Chains A and B, each alone.
Chain A
Amino acid sequence: MRREAAYEPVIGLEVHAQLLTRTKLFCRCPARYGAEPNTLVCPVCLGLPGALPAVNGEAVAMAVRLGTALGCRIAPASVFARKNYFYPDCPRNYQITMYDAPLCEGGALEYDAPEGPRLVELERIHLEDDAGKLLHRPAARSLVDFNRCGVPLVEIVTRPVLGDPSDAALFLQNLRRLLRWLGICDGNLEEGSMRCDVNVSLRTPGSRRLGTRTEIKNLNSFKAVEAGIRLEIARQRKVLEGGGEIERQTSLWNARRRELVVMRSKEEARDYRYFPEPDLPPLEVRAELVERERSRLPELPLARERRLRAEYGLPAYDAGVLCAERGIADYFERAVRAGAEPKEGANWVMREVLASLRERGGRIEEFAVSPDDLARLVRLVSDGAISRTAGTEVFREMLRTGEEPGAVVGRLGLELLADPRRLEMMVDAVIAANPGEAARFRGGKRQLLEFFVGQVMKESGGTADPRLARDLIERRLAPGGGER
């Protein structure tokens, strides 16, 4: 155990996020996923001789939006640079990225971790274009699909400040939430619209000097990020404890075998020969653009999460679930504004709404039950007009037909059955139908009360007022209560 503590990991992340622009970064081809191979291409993204890049303003605006949301310094003039390397998925054999003059510098992502508020400082954010996709076929044949080639990416680089694998995973989840919240990336790790490379090094605690770092690529899930980092830390620790030295290397995460495979050793390190892209003038970002993006920023997820707790007295868990997506938080607050009691509303959103979204798929923005109707439903329940059980049924009907809750209640006759006479008759019928249970209840088996309540609810189609029903059952089965 003491040896375990002899080294502490230092982790930095490089996250690539595909921007949800209509067109690619340097040409007008649609930036769309899932089309037939090589149908979304042109001379520019195919790197044909003579074709030149022209920067997509929408991508710049999105990157600026992210930069302002993270409190970065936005450079008034940043410089695209060429990163030279040969690979068939990169048609020009250089990537257009940013090197020593990135679009955004500094900034930090803030979020609430279980142990308290956390602030992860960023190094930089820059724009670059994505590569195509290689499809390796049997019989030594490889095909290239250039549809993805030229899709805009932001690369978000943290400072080496993350302390352990779960810390890294939590940062990523919060970054993903922000990217989706801002509407600039769909954050799909499996499909690769968000990709994460990790830098890991070890050092002795208290030391300010960083150890030699290694890189892990291809981590395509939060679990993979954690597992990959854990493996790399263990490997480095073993090397150091054996008196060895860490060498620069790059490994790939193999998701199927859940292991790291060395891709490039120190000797094979690439020299990218960066230099400023002569086909593009410095990217000028005017103060007006920065101001526009800043002023249009929505309330950010962390602030919203904290406000939901403070303003509505929601538990941290509820606020976290509701703020997983901007659309969910919006939906919830619309329902509250339409009159739903906050905690009740939160319960309905978290259970019924999110469950049926998960089941049926689709976006909350297009959810069949409007927040106003949900609020009406919540009020019907909390006002005692219908039972919670009936409420669930009404919700299912609303989902199916799009009716407002009052109409469903009327059509299905789900109004709360609180008429003592009718309820009494129902209770008597249930007791008569279950003489054995009745006898045992009278013999002292009080737990059977819930059984009788359940039977009455069933008999009434869920409309019975459960409190009244319980009272009546108790009274009827009480010693001396007797049946008529």
Chain B
Amino acid sequence: MPDGGYSDLSVRGIEELYRRGGARPSDVVGSCLDAIEAKDGIVGAFVEVFREEALARARELDGEDSRGRPLFGVPVAVKDNICTRLMPTSCGSRILRGYRPPYDATAVSRLRAAGAVIVGKTNMDEFAMGSSTEHSSSHPTRNPWDTDCAPGGSSGGSAAAVAAGMVPLALGSDTGGSIRQPASFCGVTGIKGTWGRVSRYGLVAFASSLDQIGPIAADVDGCARALRAIAGADGIDSTALADPCPALEGGGEAALDGMRIGVPSSIKGIDLDPSVSAALAAAVRHAAEAGSRVAEVDLPDLGLTIACYYVIAAAEASSNLARYDGVRFGMRVGSDTLGEMYARTRSAGFGEEVKRRILLGTFVLSSGYHDQYYGRACEVRERIRDCYRRLFGSIDLLILPTAPGPAFRLGERLDDPVAMYLSDIFTTPASVAGLPAVSIPAGLSADGLPVGLQLIAAGGREDLIVRGASALERAFAFRRRCVPGGSGGGGRS
């Protein structure tokens, strides 16, 4: 067994380990559980660890055949807004504390069917609303690279768990960047597929028309394997895509040869951390050297995109979160009258950020304002989608930063929601347009914090982002740092 145990292995590494007969699922799962025990006191990536259940499942797998199960014996952490049968699923909210759903999300049952072992639930911003994982009713999660920094959000727990080497793979959810931005902040890889690529059945809804479940792993290959396992049509999610997911293979160095890559011209006016600009320039240089045709392209206004995103997301959230009322499940603050029970329960159960968005969403849907805000945002979204559809007629991949800079410090943006919202400026386009996007680690800031780059492709073309990201990943040769607060480190070679 290597020094750090098996928890630091990639998904592929674990598969090879089993194939060699080097270890059994219970060894790997046990090693991950030990790593969680050792490191999570500092990082706080998890809200629940299913130690006994995970070990029991791993021991069952010890005696089974791995064939036909692409994630056989792979320990997986699941974001706490994805339903796990009879296991706590609280979405980082007081209002759902102690809630145990009676069913598994489709993505979770597909992971299980693929042989994965669920080891626990990861921390998140309440109902996935936030970009720092600070808006959790449980505790803030720390960035393993610098524990004074935020891991990003809202899937901060999942990204931190992978970055800290506690698990090789985690599920996150992405509404406006909630997989990609924390992946970028934590120096790991995350994919948000085309809207509908992964069934949303069992994903606790934030903004239905934007939400997507996706994988976070140490490398592109790990994400691709997981995405393949969970993607595909689902009879109980009518918005899941019917057509099969394209083959997701790296394709090696030659993948970039002849690819048409667009770099947005419009980001020049945005204040980027020098490390982000440098990473982008390096990626462009590498792609050109590898035979890609790189050209500057115009994107639909990013400010407008983010505004459109926040109006639509808040509108849908205000409706999606109406069911937390104290009547059937979760928290209830009782009262003599129905209206007061609703008000007290929701006032006590939701945090400030969630309340802010519910109020915002209720407002933009209200009669008299509906057309001006929600209606207009929907029109803008259609135009943005058209623009990207046209754009991807002439390019294969769009390359742009995942976030303007590296992780910010915990607490730094808590009092400034607008600044927090603006950190989503590069991630909301793929969300609003429903396009597949990946974030890969691409370098380190002056303070030694990771920064990521994002690749976006046309709807349905996850194969292109995986091929492009694999090639760039190899070029960047980014090494993950695994010991929170300790030495080590990584970076571009």
Q: CB within 8 Å of B: which residues of A?
A: 43-44, 46-55, 82, 84, 86, 88, 91-94, 140, 144, 271, 273-275, 278-281
Q: Is the CB of A82 within 8 A of B319?
A: yes
Closest Cβ of chain A: how far from B126's Cβ, in Å? 13
Q: Which of B202, B239, B365, B374 contacts A50 (CB 8 A)?
A: B202
| A92 & B102 in contact (Cβ 8 Å cutoff) | no
Interface of A is mostly: loop
Q: Is the CB of A84 within 8 A of B102?
A: no
* A50 to B239 alpha-carbon distance, docked (Å): 14
Verify if B439 is at the interface (C-beta below 8 Å from A).
no
Q: Which residues of A have CB within 8 Å of B203?
A: 50
B333 to chain A, nearest CB (A): 15
B328 within 8 A of A: yes
Within 318-354 of B, Cβ neighbours of A (below 8 Å) are at: 318-319, 322-323, 325, 327-329, 336, 338, 342
Judge whether B319 and A84 touch: CB under 8 Å: yes
Partner of B238, one of A48, A88, A92, A281: A281
> Which residues of chain B are near A49, meaning CB under 8 Å?
83, 89, 91, 96, 99, 101, 204-205, 323, 329
B208 in contact (CB, < 8 A): yes
Which residues of chain A are near B319, meaning CB under 8 Å? 82, 84, 94, 273, 275
Known contacts A48-B329, A54-B235, A274-B365; 20 further A-B pairs (Cβ under 8 A): A46-B328, A49-B91, A49-B99, A50-B82, A50-B203, A52-B201, A52-B237, A52-B238, A53-B238, A86-B342, A91-B323, A93-B322, A93-B323, A271-B366, A273-B366, A275-B316, A275-B365, A278-B207, A278-B209, A278-B239
Selected from B83, B205, B365, the residue in CB contact (under 8 A) with A84 is B365
Closest Cβ neighbor of B127 among chain A residues: A49
Question: Can you name the residue of chain A whose Cβ is closest to the Cβ of B324?
Answer: A49
- For the complex, would chain B's binding face be called helix, strand, loop or mixed by DSSP majority? loop
Given A52-B201, A84-B365, A43 and B102 touching (CB < 8 A)?
Answer: yes
Q: Are the C-beta atoms of B202 and A88 separated by less than 8 Å?
A: no
Residues from chain B with a CB closer than 8 A to the CB of A140 are: 336
Task: State which of B207, B338, B362, B365 has its C-beta within 8 Å of the C-beta of A88.
Answer: B338
> Quick check: A273 and B238 within 8 Å, CB to CB?
no
* Proximity string of chain B (9-44) to chain A, C-beta cutoff 8 Å, 1 when within and 0 when not: 000000000000000000000000000000000000
B101 CB, min distance to chain A CBs, angstroms: 6
* Cα(A49)–Cα(B317), bound, Å: 12
Contacts of A84 in B (CB 8 A): 318-319, 322, 365
User: B235: which A residues are within 8 A, CB to CB?
Assistant: 54
Q: Which chain A residue has the least Cβ–Cβ distance from B240?
A: A52
Query: A54, A88, A279 — which one has the most chain B CB atoms within 10 A of its CB?
Result: A279
List the A side residues contacting B91 at CB < 8 Å: 49
- For B102, the closest partner residue in chain A by CB is A43
6 closest Cβ pairs, A-B complex: A93-B322, A278-B208, A273-B365, A278-B209, A49-B204, A50-B202
Q: In chain B between 288 and 330, which residues have their CB closer than 8 angstroms to a CB of chain A?
A: 315-316, 318-319, 322-323, 325, 327-329
Given contacts A51-B201, A279-B239, contact A43 B101 (CB under 8 A): yes
In the complex, which residues of chain A have a beta carbon less than 8 angstroms from the beta carbon of B366? 271, 273
Q: Chain B: which residue is nearest A48 at the CB level?
A: B101
Q: Which of B236, B237, B238, B328 has a CB less than 8 Å from the CB of A91?
A: B328
List, in ascending order, chain A residues with CB within 8 A of B89's CB. 49-50
How far, in angstroms, from A458 to B208 measured CA to CA in the complex? 80
Inter-chain CA distance A94–B237, complex, in Å, is 18
Least CB distance, B377 to chain A, in whole angstroms: 11
B221-238 vs A, Cβ < 8 Å mask (1 yes, 0 no):
000000000000001111
| B residues whose Cβ falls under 8 Å from a Cβ of A | 81-83, 89, 91, 96, 99, 101-103, 105, 200-205, 207-209, 235-239, 315-316, 318-319, 322-323, 325, 327-329, 336, 338, 342, 362, 365-367, 370, 374
Closest to A53 in B: B238
How many pairs, one residue from A and one from B, have CB atoms within 8 Å of each other in the complex?
102
Instruction: Answer whether A144 and B327 are a contact pair too, CB < 8 Å, given A273-B370, A275-B315.
Output: yes
Of the listed residues B203, B322, B342, the one surrounded by the most CB atoms of chain A closer than 10 A to its CB is: B322
> For residue B337, which residue of chain A has the nearest CB?
A140
Q: What chain A residues lie within 8 Å of B82 (beta carbons)?
A: 50
How far apart sit A288 and B338, CA to CA, in the bound complex (Å)?
A: 48
Q: A49-B89, A49-B204, A278-B209 are in contact. Are A54 and B83 (CB under 8 A)?
A: no
Do A55 and B327 form a contact, CB below 8 Å, given A43-B101, A50-B201, A275-B365?
no
Residue in B closest to A277 when the chains form the complex, CB atoms: B208
Contact, CB under 8 Å: A55 / B238: yes
Q: State whether A92 touches B322 (Cβ < 8 A).
A: yes
A82 cross-chain contacts in B, Cβ below 8 A: 319
Q: Which residues of A contact B328 (CB under 8 A)?
A: 46-47, 91, 144
Q: What distance in Å separates the Cβ of A224 from its nearest Cβ neighbour in chain B?
A: 27
Set of chain B residues within 8 Å of A48, measured between Cβ atoms: 101-103, 329
Select B103's contact among A43, A88, A279, A281, beta carbons within 8 Å: A43
**What is the minimal beta-carbon distance from A144 to any residue of chain B, in angstroms?**
7
Residues on B with beta carbons closer than 8 Å to the beta carbon of A144: 327-328
Nearest CB on B from A281, distance (A): 6
CB distance from B5 to the nearest CB of A (A): 33
List 12 interface pairs A-B (beta carbons < 8 Å), by A numbering: A49-B91, A49-B96, A49-B329, A50-B82, A50-B83, A52-B237, A53-B238, A54-B238, A84-B365, A144-B327, A275-B319, A279-B239
- Chain B residues with CB under 8 A of A91: 323, 327-328
Shortest CB–CB separation between residue A326 and chain B, in angstroms? Answer: 34
**Residues of chain A contacted by B105 (CB below 8 angstroms):** 50
Report Cα–Cα, A279/B234, bound state, in Å.
Answer: 13
A29 to chain B, nearest CB (A): 13
With a CB–CB cut-off of 8 A, which chain A residues contact B327?
88, 91, 144
Nearest-neighbor residue (CB-CB) of B362 within chain A: A273
In the bound complex, residues from chain B placing their C-beta under 8 Å from that of A52 are 200-201, 236-239
Q: What B residues does A93 contact at CB under 8 A?
A: 322-323, 325
Q: What is the chain A residue whose CB lies nearest that of B327?
A: A88
A140 to B336, CA, bound (A): 8
Determine the chain A residues whose CB is within 8 A of the CB of B325 once the complex forms: 86, 88, 93
Q: How far is the CA of A93 from the CA of B322 in the complex (A)?
A: 6
Once the chains are docked, how many angstroms separate the CA of A271 from the CA of B319? 13
Among residues of B, the one whose C-beta sits closest to the C-beta of A28 is: B236
CA distance A279 to B200 in the complex (A): 9
CB contacts (< 8 Å) of B99 on chain A: these are 49
Taking the closest CB of chain B, its distance from the CB of A396, in whole angstroms, is 54
Inter-chain contact A275/B322, CB cutoff 8 Å: no
User: Is the pair B204, A50 in contact by a Cβ cutoff of 8 Å?
Assistant: yes
**Which A residue's beta carbon lies closest to that of B329?**
A48
Of the candidates B99, B207, B325, the one having the most CB atoms from chain A within 10 angstroms of its own CB is B325
Are A92 and B315 in contact, with the CB atoms below 8 A? no
A47–B235 CA distance with the chains assembled, in angstroms = 18
User: Of B96, B205, B319, B328, which is in contact with the most chain A CB atoms at under 10 Å from its CB?
Assistant: B319
Chain A residues with CB below 8 A from B208, complex form: 278-279
Interface centre among A44, A49, A92 (most CB of B within 10 A): A49
Q: Contacts A88-B327, A93-B325, A273-B370 known; A50 to B205 CB distance under 8 Å? A: yes
Which residue in B81, B102, B103, B374 is a CB contact (below 8 Å) of A275? B374
Contact A279 B367, beta carbon cutoff 8 Å: no
Q: In the complex, what residue of chain A is closest to B370 when comparing beta carbons?
A: A273
Give the chain A neighbours of B202 by CB distance below 8 A.
50-51
Point out which of A43, A54, A273 has the most chain B C-beta atoms below 10 A from its C-beta: A273
- Report B-chain residues with C-beta under 8 Å of the C-beta of A273: 318-319, 362, 365-367, 370
A47 touches B323 (CB 8 A): yes
**In the bound complex, what is the Cα–Cα distance between A61 and B235 (angstroms)?**
19
Across-interface contacts of B329 in A (CB, < 8 A) = 48-49
Q: Which residues of A contact B362 (CB under 8 A)?
A: 273
Complex contact B201–A271 (CB within 8 A)? no
Residues of B within 8 A of A92 (CB): 322-323
Distance, CA A82 to CA B208, complexed state (A): 12
Q: Is the CB of A280 within 8 A of B238?
A: yes
Q: Whole-angstrom distance between the alpha carbons of A266 and B239 in the complex?
A: 38
The contact of B322 among A43, A53, A86, A280, by CB within 8 Å, is A86
| Complexed CA–CA distance, A46 and B327 (Å) | 11
